[in-house]
Amino acid sequence: MDLVINTSGIDHFLSLPPDQMFWSFLGNGGWIIIALAFLVGIRDLWLFSRRKKWSKNHKSILLAIDIPRGNEQSPKAVENMFTYLGGAHGTQNFFEKWIEGQYQKNFSYEIVSIEGYTQFLIWLPAEFRNLIETSVYSQYPDAEISEVDDYTQNVPQKWPDEEYEIYGSEFIQVSSKFFPIKSYLEFEHQMGPSETQFKDPMASLMDLCGSLGPGEQFWIQLIVVPMGFDWVKEAEKEANKILGRKAKAKTGLFAWGLEALGEASEVVYPIWQDIDPTKKKEEKPKTMMDLSPKEKNQIEGLQLKASKLGFEAKIRVVYIAKKEVMNNRKVFNGFVGYIKQFAALDLNSFKPDLDVTATRAQYFMKKPRTLEKKRRIFRNYVNRSDTGGRKVGLFNIEELATLWHFPVEANVKAAMVQRAPGRKADAPSALPLAPEKKETVDDMFNLEGRFYNQPAGEYKLDNADAPPPPNLPTI
C-alpha cells in the first residue's frame, strides 16, 4: 500500500504574494504564535525592569585576598570556603520575584594578572562581606583581605580601541552538567616527601600569569551562583538513564479509581493488570554487573558529585593587551592547556565556547560580528553577569575548589603572586602597657623600634654608635 501525501495546500500557500501569505498565516492560527511570543517578551521586559530597579539599591564590592606565605593548605580548605558560601542562598516567592524584582545574587571568584603580577580577588554583594571574610579567615587565619578598586575600569571601556586589543571566551562543559571533572584529589600521589605529594594543577596557571609582560592583562572569572538541592534528583535521573530505568509512570484514572476502593483494589488491580492487552513487556533494568567499565565510572561519578553541595557556575576569561605585544596563542593556548588538566574523558571536561562567546567569527560579516562579541564579553565580565553569554553549568564544591584555590607554595614557585606578610599575633592580655605619651613629630620616624630625636637635617639612629650585640652572626 503506497502512502500518498497531499501537498497542494502548502504549494498554494507558498505561491501567494507576501501580503496575502501573511494574512493567510494569521487567519489559520498564526496569530496565536505571535501573541504568545509577544506575551513572553512583555514578561521578560517586565522582569528585567523590576530587577534593574531592585539592584539599584544594592552595592557590590571587590576584595583582594593576599594568600599567606608558606601556604601548605590543600584545596580542601577552599572547598570548606565554598561550603560556607552556601549560606548566601535564598528563595523568592511570587511577590518578591515578579513585583519587587528580587533574584539570587551571584559571586565572582577571580584570578587577575596585570603585567605579570597576580592577585586573587572575590567580587560580591556588599551585604555578604562578613560571610566571605569569615569563610576565608576560618581556613586562612593569616590571610589579609582588603577592599580595592575595580581593575576593569583601568582599561578602555569602548571597543575598538586605538591602543589596546581584546580577546575572550567562556569555557563550557563538554558533557552533561551532572558529570564531574577531574578534581584536585586525583592530583595526589604517594611518591616523594609529604609536602610534595600533591602536584598542584595551579602551578601551570601561575607560571602563565607570571609570564605576562608590560601592556598585558589576563583576567579569569569564576561566576558562582548559590542554589538549592533540587539538582540532586536530576542527577539521579541521569544515572537512571544509564541503568535503563524508566521514570515511574503517573497513575491513570482507572487505576486511581481501583486504588480508591481500598482493600478491594488489592484483588481487582492485579487481575486487571495481568489481562491488560495494551501492556508491553518491559526490558529489565541493568544492574551494576551488566554495566561496562565506562558506565560504572559514570554512575560512581554522578553519585559522588551529588553527595556534595552544588552551585551554578561558569568560567569566563578575557585577555587585554597593547596591540604591539598582543599574543593570543601564548595566553589562550596556555589557558586551554591548564584547563585540560581537569578532563576526565569518560565523564566531563571543558572546551572554549568558539560558537557563541569567543571573540571570533567565520564566513560572512566577520568584522562587525567579531566586534560585537568583543563588546559583549567585556560588558558581561565587567558586570559579573551570570545570565550573559552561555547558560551556567553545575559544579559541586570539590570542583569549584579545584578550579579556584590558593597555590600550595611547596610546589608552586610563583614569585609575582601577591602574598600576605608573615604571621601576625595579638599581644598577650597580661602584657603591661606603657603610660600614654603625647605623640610628637619626632615619634613618627621609627625604624625597628629606634626613634629619631635629632634636629631636622641631622637625623641618625640613637644607638648608631653602640657596639654590636654579642654572638652576632657574620655574613
HSE-up of residue 97 (Cα within 13 Å, Cβ side): 8
pLDDT tens-digit readout, 100-112: 999 999 999 999 9
**8 Å CB contact between 363 and 284:** no
The answer as to whether 424 is a domain residue is no
pLDDT per residue over 324-348, tens digit each?
Answer: 999 999 999 999 999 999 999 999 9
Q: Could you tell me if 418 and 118 are in contact, meaning their C-beta atoms sit under 8 angstroms apart?
A: yes
Range 190-214 average pLDDT: 83
Task: Judge whether 447 lies within some domain.
Answer: no
266 phi, psi to nearest 5 deg: -65, -20
Q: Which 3 state secondary structure label does DSSP give 347? A: coil
Q: Tell whether 240 is covered by a domain.
A: no
Round to whole Å and give the CA distance between 422 and 424: 6
C-alpha cell belonging to residue 402: 579545584
- Round the CA-based radius of gyration of the chain to a whole number and report it: 31
Asked if residue 13 is part of any domain, the answer here is no
Structure confidence by residue, pLDDT tens digits, 242-253 = 888 876 655 555
Q: Say if 394 falls within a structural domain.
A: yes
Whether residue 94 lies inside any domain: the answer is yes
Which of helix, strand or coil describes residue 140?
A: coil
Q: Looking at residue 2, what is its pLDDT?
A: 61
Q: Residue 16 is placed in which grid cell?
A: 501567494
Residue 319 belongs to a domain: yes
For the chain, what is the domain count?
Answer: 1
How far apart CA 319 and CA 313 sit, in angstroms, is 20
Q: Does residue 471 lie within any of the structural domains?
A: no
Count CB neighbours of 411 within 10 A. Answer: 16
Q: Could you list the residue range(s) of the whole structural domain that residue 87 is in?
A: 61-232+295-403
Let me know the angle formed at the C-alpha of 221 by 215 and 222, rounded to the nearest 5 degrees.
Answer: 165
Provide the whole-model pTM: 0.77
Q: What confidence tens digit (pLDDT) does each residue in 270-301 have?
A: 554 544 445 555 567 777 777 888 999 999 99
| φ/ψ of residue 436, rounded to 5 | -65, 140
pLDDT tens string 297-315: 999 999 999 999 999 999 9
Average predicted confidence (pLDDT) for the chain: 82
Per-residue pLDDT band at 262 (split at 50, 70, 90): low
| Whole-number percent of the chain with pLDDT over 70 | 76
